Homo-oligomer: A and B are copies of this chain.
Amino acid sequence: MEAQKTLKAGFIQFRPILGDLQSNMEKLSVLIEQAAGADLIVIPELANSGYNFKDREQAFKLAENVEKSVFIDFLIRKAKEFDLHIVSGFNEKEGDKLYNTSVLVDSNGVIGKYRKIHLFMNEFDIFEKGDIGLPVFDLGFCKMGMLICFDWIFPEVWRILALKGADLICHPSNLVLPYAQQAVPVHGMINKYYIITANRYGTERGVTFSGKSFISDTIGKTLVMAKGNEDTVKIVEMDISKSRNKMITERNHALDDRSPEDYADLVL
């Protein structure tokens, strides 16, 4: 199955304001307009609420249900206005539980979501561990999977998304450590797919986020990278035939050359 066209996809880097949904939507409204012409755009982790909550109570107040969300309705309107798919970090409430979620929407509504599996630092006090696995969505023009921020350090999840056929990984982030910019493109090299890491910048209650959002290709090259401290929209063209071709050499295949019978320790 070959994709029909070149994919235009990229990221919006911005600085969400903790607890100010209205301001975050206003800022995103300006930036999404700059992404007009793209097929898909990725927005950072927890873009509706900000990240560094005082406590779980604050996080809960700032969370929304996917089905009844001012923020997601806004994303769907923008997806319709500019005919694009949007992936965004989202502080999700379901009953009395919170999830650090990435939602995928288009002009028709919510297509799907991913809930962060590997929680970071104080997130353990706030969010449940993701409980819906690692879905891959066939958008026609590409197959895409989602990971969130600290998931980046677990090669297992990158690999699983490749095994499920992803051409592109969308990676909303609020990175604080400086390592992901080095490591993430290598996951793309190893699995032969594109990656968009949409990071935030700015300082929130003493925590500084590193910006430098980037897009990497199927051989681990960083195609574009934002600066550390400014609003940025970057779109690149992706050749999906490159992520569909998993041959490394004429006799070596990135996935089929695996030796699962030697890998049992990975699931212990």
- A contacts, CB < 8 Å to B: 117-118, 120-122, 124, 129, 133-134, 150, 153-160, 163-164, 177, 179, 182-183, 186, 189-190, 219-220, 248-252, 254, 257-260, 262-268
Task: Report the separation of the CA atoms of residues A251 and B122 in the bound assembly, to the nearest whole angstrom.
Answer: 8
A150 to B260, alpha carbons, bound, how many Å?
A: 16
Known: A156-B262, A157-B263, A160-B266. 12 other contacts (CB 8 A): A117-B262, A121-B249, A133-B262, A153-B248, A155-B156, A156-B263, A157-B262, A179-B219, A183-B189, A186-B186, A266-B266, A267-B267
Q: Are B134 and A262 in contact (CB under 8 A)?
A: yes
Give which listed residue, B158, B159, B189, B259, contacts A118 with CB less than 8 A: B259
Is B183's CB under 8 angstroms from A179's CB?
no
A182 to B163, CA, bound (A): 23
Our pick among B164, B190, B248 for the contact of A183 (Cβ within 8 Å) is B190
- Nearest residue (CB) in B for A255 is B154
Q: Which residues in B have their C-beta under 8 angstroms from that of A129?
A: 259
Contact of A190 among B120, B155, B267 (CB under 8 A): B155
- The smallest beta-carbon distance between A192 and chain B, in angstroms, is 10
Q: Which residue of B lies closest to A155 (CB)?
A: B155
Could you list 8 examples of A-B contacts with CB < 8 Å?
Answer: A117-B259, A122-B251, A156-B159, A157-B263, A160-B263, A182-B186, A182-B220, A183-B220
> A182 — which chain B residues lie within 8 A by C-beta?
186, 189, 220
Report B-chain residues with C-beta under 8 Å of the C-beta of A154: 190, 257-259
Enumerate chain B residues within 8 angstroms of A156, measured Cβ to Cβ.
155, 159, 258-259, 262-263, 266
User: Which residues of B have CB within 8 Å of A134?
Assistant: 262
- Among B150, B164, B251, contact of A124 (Cβ-Cβ < 8 Å): B251
A190 in contact with B266 (CB, 8 Å)? no
State how many angstroms separate the Cβ of A266 from the closest Cβ of chain B: 5
Neighbouring B residues of A266 by C-beta, 8 Å: 156, 159-160, 163, 260, 263, 266-267
Nearest-neighbour CB distance to chain B for A262, whole angstroms, equals 6
With A and B bound together, what is the CA distance between A133 and B263 in angstroms? Answer: 9
